[in-house]
Amino acid sequence: MTGLDIRIVERALQFKTPAGTSRGVMTDKPSFYVIARDLEEDGRIGIGECSLIPGLSPESEMRARLELKKLAASGALDPKSMSLQYPAVRFAAETALIDLLSEGDRTLFPGPFTEGRPVPINGLIWMGDVADMVAQAESLLERGFDTLKMKVGALDFERELECLSAIRAMAPAGEITLRLDANGGLDDEDLSITLGKLERLARFDIHSMEQPIRPGQWKKMQAVCIGSDIPIALDEELIGVHDTDLRRNLLHIVKPHYIILKPSLIGGLVEANHWIDLAAEVEAGWWATSALESNIGLNAIAQWAADAIAEEANPMPQGLGTGSLFTNNLPSPLVVAGGTLRLDQPEAQANGTLRTWDLSDLLG
pLDDT in tens, 2-39: 888 999 999 999 998 887 666 678 889 999 999 999 88
- pLDDT at residue 360, as a whole number: 64
**Residue partners of 245: CB distance under 8 A and separation at least 6:** none
Q: Tell me: the pLDDT tens digits for 203-234?
A: 999 999 999 999 999 999 999 999 999 999 99
**Residue partners of 39: CB distance under 8 A and separation at least 6:** 3, 4, 5
Q: Which residues pair with 36 in a beta bridge?
A: 6, 46
Q: For the chain, what is the total number of helices (H) and then of strands (E)?
A: 12, 13
Residue range(s) in the chain whose domain bears CATH number 3.30.390.10: 4-104
pLDDT exceeds cutoff 90 at 139? yes
Please provide the CATH number assigned to the domain covering 4-104: 3.30.390.10
- pLDDT at residue 180, as a whole number: 97
Nearest to 167 by CA among 157, 178, 156, 158: 178
Q: Which residues pair with 261 in a beta bridge?
A: 288
- Please give the Cα distance from 351 to 272 (Å, whole number): 28
pLDDT exceeds cutoff 50 at 354? no
User: For the CA atoms of the chain, what is the radius of gyration?
Assistant: 20
- pLDDT at residue 21, as a whole number: 65
The pLDDT > 70 percentage for the chain reads 90
The total number of residues written for the chain in this structure = 364
Contact yes or no for 329/323 (Cβ under 8 A): yes
End-to-end CA distance of the chain: 24
Residues carrying an active site annotation: 151, 262
- pLDDT at residue 353, as a whole number: 41
pLDDT exceeds cutoff 60 at 356? no
pTM: 0.91
Within a 10 A sphere around the Cβ of 255, how many other Cβ atoms? 15
Phi, psi of 264, deg, nearest 5? -70, -15
- pLDDT at residue 42, as a whole number: 75
- pLDDT at residue 57, as a whole number: 95
Helix axes 218-227, 191-202, angle to 10 degrees: 40
- Please give the Cα distance from 1 to 97 (Å, whole number): 8
Q: Tell me: the pLDDT tens digits for 293-310?
A: 998 999 899 989 998 998
Between the CA atoms of 98, 100, 106 and 109, what dihedral angle is there, to the nearest 10 degrees?
Answer: -30
pLDDT exceeds cutoff 90 at 322? no
- Please give the Cα distance from 96 to 106 (Å, whole number): 9
Q: Which residue has the higher pLDDT, 111 or 176?
A: 176
Q: Which residues pair with 4 in a beta bridge?
A: 38
Average pLDDT for the chain: 89
- pLDDT at residue 109, as a whole number: 65
pLDDT mean over 319-326 = 85
Q: Which residue has the higher pLDDT, 310 or 244?
A: 244
144 band by pLDDT with thresholds 50, 70 and 90: very high
Q: Tell me: the pLDDT tens digits for 58-77?
A: 999 999 999 999 999 999 99
- Please give the Cα distance from 272 to 181 (Å, whole number): 20
Three-point CA angle 264, 287, 353, nearest 5°: 70
Residue range(s) in the chain whose domain bears CATH number 3.20.20.120: 119-360
Right CATH for 119-360 from 3.40.50.2300, 3.20.20.120, 3.30.565.10, 3.30.70.360: 3.20.20.120
How far, in Å, are 5, 22, 161, 192, 267 from residue 263 at the CA level? Answer: 25, 21, 32, 33, 6
Weakest-pLDDT range from 95-104, 280-289, 314-323: 95-104
- Please give the Cα distance from 270 to 53 (Å, whole number): 21
pLDDT mean over 172-190 = 95
331 band by pLDDT with thresholds 50, 70 and 90: confident
Chain CA centroid to CA 86, Å: 16
Nearest to 332 by CA among 122, 107, 12: 107
